[in-house]
Amino acid sequence: MRKRRAIIFDDNESVLTFFRDYFVLLNYEVLAFREPSVCPLYAADAQSCTRKHPCADIVITDYRMPHMNGADLLRAQLQRGCRLPAANKALLSGDIDRDLVDSITSLGFAFFHKPVMLDRMAAWVSACEERMNLAQPLGDRRREERAPVPVEQEWYQVDTDTGGIACSVMNMSESGICLKTPAPLRSQQLVHVTSGTGELRAALVRWSRKHDDGSFLSGLRCC
């Protein structure tokens, strides 16, 4: 049986830290983001969700965020077929009008005023857990926010047991990197990655697949 997952959207770092710690204590996997752009239904041209299963068991979003407010995000997810029930999603805000709160709750979403009362939050989380199906896999394998690579680190080299391979980095996270190489890397292979700045990191190859241009993309977990 898999671990429960919570996704948190809030542009306030202290709020993200609070909810990350709160759900970690409840033994959740927590994905925390400052804006909703990682949601596949965030883009205006996304017509519907293509995943068979929800990306999380609980979603909590702040109202005021860059590019899209939390209420519009929840409405877009509902209209475009998000697999997670509305009852397992909540909007947070310290200053929105009563009509908007009523509109959100009428669609089935929960609402919490900031600062959040922990007893109300705990009761809602318990109710959400009654609706979770932990035997069902989650629809999104990506577990961390990915970031672009700084310009001075765009060039990399992978040293394997058969020699060095020049490569470039597509994106990176706190625990791993996605490399583009001219030849495939072997799954579960331990390699050493050197960046353009001279940083050396050991990494384990998790997967490797051929790209459209004939090169290969590989996902590595840093050790």
CATH numbers and ranges of domains, the chain: 5-131 (3.40.50.2300), 152-222 (2.40.10.220)
Confidence of residue 22 (pLDDT cuts 50, 70, 90): very high
Mean pLDDT computed over every residue of the chain? 83
3's CB contacts (< 8 A; 6+ apart) are 27, 28, 29
Confidence of residue 88 (pLDDT cuts 50, 70, 90): very high
CA dist 66 and 166 (Å) reads: 37
* Percent of the chain whose predicted confidence (pLDDT) is above 70: 85
Query: In the predicted model, is pLDDT for residue 184 greater than 70?
Result: yes
* Bigger pLDDT: 156 vs 22: 22
* Percent of the chain whose predicted confidence (pLDDT) is above 90: 38
Q: Is the pTM of this model over 0.75?
A: no
Task: Give, to the nearest 10 degrees, the angle between helix 70-79 and helix 98-106.
Answer: 20
Q: What is the pLDDT of residue 151?
A: 46
Q: What is the pLDDT of residue 113?
A: 94
Q: What is the pLDDT of residue 35?
A: 78
Q: What is the pLDDT of residue 211?
A: 74
Q: Is 6 helix (H, G, I), strand (E, B) or coil?
A: strand
CA dist 59 and 128 (Å) reads: 10
CA dist 96 and 82 (Å) reads: 24
CA distances from 86 to 63, 151, 191 (A): 16, 41, 44
Q: Tens digits of per-residue pLDDT, 93-142?
A: 988 899 999 999 999 999 999 999 999 999 999 999 999 999 988 876 54
DSSP per residue over 167-218, as a string? EEEEEE-SSEEEEEESSPPPTT-EEEEEETT--EEEEEEEEEEE-TTS-EEE
Q: What is the pLDDT of residue 131?
A: 96
